Amino acid sequence: MQVAESSAASALPGEVALDERDGTYLMRAIAWSRTGRERGNRPFGAVVVSDNGEVLAEAWCNGTETGDCTGHAEMMALRQVSPQVDRETLARATIYSSAEPCVMCAGAIFWSNIRRVVYGIDAVRLRVFRGKRPEQRDAELSCRDVFAASPHLIECVGPALIDAASAPHIGVWRP
């Protein structure tokens, strides 16, 4: 299997503990999820950070305000960074996502050559918020399954900071 998982101690069942750097950037992605929500979009955010700590891209989900069904936070961040940063630099970068990347975003992360992902709320917990409404459902395939099909290792750390990552979703989804 090509997916590395963290074995750090957990705060909540199934939650991964993060070091200070990862916690800082994941909280930044969560802040962008709140920005997306405030602008009338679904509450998702993403930040791409180089191996030396430089923020390369930041984004929120903008699908509602643009009408672009691919306007997920990770996609928007990758659209910012891909034309500006070479693939070797991206191979050493980390993308921080407020929620577990969906199948589309996981595929785009693979194609970008980013090899490390840290995320907040996992898809299973997110589906509780989304309920059973067909228009709120997702393809029920973990990003780890997508990354496992990669010919190169993509480290996947999460779920983490679940309470903070969950907060922007409260009251957004229709039951």
Q: pLDDT for 21-33, tens place per residue?
A: 999 999 999 999 9
Q: Which one from 5, 20, 58, 74 is the annotated catalytic residue?
A: 74
With beta carbons less than 8 A apart as the criterion, state whether 142 and 100 touch.
Answer: yes
Q: pLDDT for 119-161, tens place per residue?
A: 999 988 887 877 676 675 677 789 999 999 999 999 999 999 9
What pLDDT, on a 0 to 100 scale, did the predictor assign at position 1? 30
Q: What is the spatial distance between Cα 124 and Cα 156, in angstroms, rounded to a whole number?
A: 16
With beta carbons less than 8 A apart as the criterion, state whether 78 and 110 touch.
Answer: no
Considering the chain, what is the average pLDDT of its residues? Answer: 90
Q: What is the spatial distance between Cα 159 and Cα 136, in angstroms, rounded to a whole number?
A: 21
Q: What is the spatial distance between Cα 77 and Cα 73, in angstroms, rounded to a whole number?
A: 6
Q: What is the spatial distance between Cα 86 and Cα 146, in angstroms, rounded to a whole number?
A: 23
Q: What is the spatial distance between Cα 48 and Cα 77, in angstroms, rounded to a whole number?
A: 7
Q: Say whether pLDDT at 86 is over 80.
A: yes
What pLDDT, on a 0 to 100 scale, did the predictor assign at position 169? 92
Predicted model pTM:
0.90
Per-residue tokens: 152: 């190169």
Active-site residue 74, yes or no? yes
Residue 170 DSSP code:
T
Distances (CA, A) of 107 to 22, 52, 132, 141, 154: 22, 25, 25, 12, 11
What's the average model confidence in pLDDT over 52-78?
97
Say which residues have a Cβ less than 8 Å from residue 141's Cβ, sequence separation at least 6: 103
What pLDDT, on a 0 to 100 scale, did the predictor assign at position 131? 67
Q: What is the spatial distance between Cα 76 and Cα 58, in angstroms, rounded to a whole number?
A: 8
Q: pLDDT band for position 2 (50/70/90)?
A: very low
